[in-house]
Amino acid sequence: MSYETITAEANAQGHKGVTLLTINRPQALNALNSKVLEELIDAFAAYQADGSQLCAILTGSGDKAFAAGADIKEMSEKAAADFFLDDFFSPWTAEIVKKTRKPWIAAVNGFALGGGCELAMMADFIIASEKAKFGQPEIKLGVAPGMGGSQRLTRAIGKSKSMEMCLTGRMMAAEEAERSNLVARVVPHEELLAETLKTAATIAAMPPMAVIANKEMVNSAFEMTLDQGLIVERRIFQILTASEDKAEGMAAFIEKREGQWKGR
Ligand code: CAA
């Protein structure tokens, strides 16, 4: 499938089971317009449907930006009624986050601002280049986060830092983002893609049902009380014990060999 504003590569650079998605509008710092959204929805659906792929990476093209936000030029043309009646921004969560059961990693290579920061936070985790910069500068445009920033940033880094970032629009550098638990890991700029591909390949080599189950469990920690989450965890664990890959994984450990996964 060829796209106008993104690229999609299954088994990226020879990494089996890893799909690489790249936002490709470097001249606009990969700003997120309607075409990018439409194409990312299609590419994530294709990734989810392809049984040979088990981990995706989302990154930005060029050396400067992951995504500098929702496209301000596109939004400047719209009236409040358009945003409201179209429920603008809702497909990001409804069509991408909720429908992608398999994991995906944001590889943040530069500016991740506004919707760009919010898109990175939709990923299961973030690996950042040391040049990455995160921010929610919407306040400077007379608006506020609209793709989940006030909620996901606050859950990730806590009220005080999130409030400061939203109210001042200041950018947070990669080192502070790692210290604040916004990102899983910071790596040298030139090594970002290679490191992220390596991490994604590690995940893609795991037993598929266990990969999906682990993602579901961790995410339930954000949606449920502790008691409910613990029940979900135990039930999913118990279901996994019926899988062929559980028998294979435990046998492989005891026989001191690598497991051969069936995905069932
Ligand atoms: N939308 C549309 N175009 C954008 C853009 C955006 N969010 N961010 C950058 N661009 C465009 C610029 O207009 C410029 O295009 P032209 O050459 O045609 O003028 C090009 O990308 C390069 O940008 P700059 O010249 O500004 O680059 P810089 O290095 O001087 O500055 C920057 C970089 C600090 C990231 C700056 O571009 C910037 O502040 N961008 C806007 C960031 C922002 O406010 N993001 C939030 C958007 S609102 C939002 O996302 C709502 C939401 O919650 C979902």
Pocket test of ligand 1: the residue of 23, 72, 136 to mutate, having most ligand atoms within 8 Å of its CB, is: 72
Exposed/middle/buried for residue 264 (C-beta within 10 Å: 0-12, 13-18, 19+) = exposed
Q: Which ligand 1 atom is the nearest neighbour of the CA of 71? A: 1
Q: Which ligand 1 atom is the nearest neighbour of the CA of 29? A: 21
Exposed/middle/buried for residue 108 (C-beta within 10 Å: 0-12, 13-18, 19+) = buried
Amino acid, res. 197: L
Domains of the chain (ranges, CATH numbers): 6-204 (3.90.226.10), 208-254 (1.10.12)
Q: Taking CB atoms and a 6 Å cutoff, what residues make up the pocket around ligand 1? A: 28-29, 31, 68-73, 89, 111, 113-115, 118, 137-138, 141, 145-147, 149
Residue position matching structure tokens 């700003």: 31
Q: Please provide the DSSP assignment of 82-133 as one string.
A: HHHHTTTTHHIIIIIITT--S-EEEEE-SEEETHHHHHHHHSSEEEEETT-E
Q: Is 18 left (phi over 0), alpha (psi -120 to 50) or beta?
A: beta
Q: How far is CA 58 from the centre of its chain?
A: 7
Contact 138, 146 (CB under 8 A): yes
Q: How far is CA 256 from the centre of its chain?
A: 34
Confidence at residue 1, expressed as pLDDT on a 0 to 100 scale:
76
Q: Is the ipTM of this complex over 0.95?
A: yes
Q: In 3-state terms, the chain is what percent helix, strand and coil (to 5)?
A: 50, 15, 35
The answer to pTM > 0.80 is yes
Contact 132, 113 (CB under 8 A): no
231 CA from centroid of ligand 1 (Å): 45
Return the HEC string of 104-115.
EEEEECCEEECH
Q: Which of 35, 36, 70, 41 shows the shortest CA–CA distance to 148?
A: 70
Pocket test of ligand 1: the residue of 29, 34, 77, 111 to mutate, having most ligand atoms within 8 Å of its CB, is: 29
Q: What is the DSSP letter of 59?
A: E
Per-residue pLDDT of the chain (264 residues; tens, 9 = 90+): 799 999 999 999 999 999 999 999 999 999 999 999 999 999 999 999 999 999 999 999 999 999 999 999 999 999 999 999 999 999 999 999 999 999 999 999 999 999 999 999 999 999 999 999 999 999 999 999 999 999 999 999 999 999 999 999 999 999 999 999 999 999 999 999 999 999 999 999 999 999 999 999 999 999 999 999 999 999 999 999 999 999 999 999 999 999 999 999
- Integer Cα distance of 246 and 73 in angstroms: 52
Lookup: tokens for 8: 């999609």
259 CA from centroid of ligand 1 (Å): 47
